[in-house]
Amino acid sequence: MIVAIDGPAGVGKSTVAHRIAEQFGFQFLNSGNFYRCVAFYALKNNISPEDPAALVRTAEHLPLTLHDGVLCADGENIEPYLHTHEIDEIVAPISAVPGVRAAVNALMGRLYRNVDLVCEGRDMTTVVFPDADVKIFLDASPEVRAGRRFRQNGGNDYGAVLSAIKRRDHVDINKPVGNLKIADDALYIDTSEMDPDTVTKKIFSYINAKAGERNEF
């Protein structure tokens, strides 16, 4: 079974997806980390975010593998290095490059072939896994999402966080390929007034209902 979750930055997709994966014993896929890997190697090799050809080559040759569900590069867990301010600043335009998206989608398809999966990102329900068994779209207002990021990261400038959220939304919604949108058959959940436990329970019930329709579990 594939459970695909989409939504904008700061909506809590990773938290909820991790919990769902743990409850069902599924593998977890954070598609954003793959684009962050491209950004990581672009910074490491002094590749400009405005050089699409070089970015595509980088994406096509990412040395990534999975070990117990953890994303590794050359055998080392790379995930702790992917959430820096420098990467935050360039990952959105990098992820908007069509060739980068094609390379990343192909890599995810190879790494997660034939597994029970919970995945989250921007176009999981519409592009990467359009035939997913369960599709969810999580949403919240920019102000709520900025507040969550502000508290999570211990920042001291809420206005800057809110501006960054709005810029990211603009890029994600207007990407030429794989833009953020709600799939016609996705369950829409506004999490603005909901905590992670409530969101998780709602999705858990929805998955069980879908599984019952298919006589799974």
Cα angle for residues 32, 144, 95 (degrees, 5° grid): 20
pLDDT in tens, 100-142: 999 999 999 888 888 899 999 899 999 989 999 999 999 999 9
CATH number at residue 163: 3.40.50.300
pTM of the complete model beyond 0.85: no
Separation CA 87–CA 109 (nearest Å): 24
Asked whether residue 207 is assigned to any structural domain, the reply reads: no
Domain count of the fold of the chain: 2
Asked whether residue 60 is assigned to any structural domain, the reply reads: yes
Asked whether residue 165 is assigned to any structural domain, the reply reads: yes
- Domain range for 106 is 32-115
Asked whether residue 132 falls in the same domain as residue 103, the answer is no
pLDDT in tens, 37-91: 999 999 999 999 999 999 999 999 999 998 877 889 988 999 999 988 899 889 9
Asked whether residue 123 falls in the same domain as residue 77, the answer is no
Final residue before a domain boundary, out of 115, 144, 161: 115
pLDDT in tens, 179-205: 899 999 999 999 999 999 999 999 999
Helices 196-213 and 13-24, interaxial angle, to 10°? 50
Segment 157-177 shows an average pLDDT of 90
Separation CA 104–CA 121 (nearest Å): 12
pLDDT in tens, 152-163: 877 678 999 999
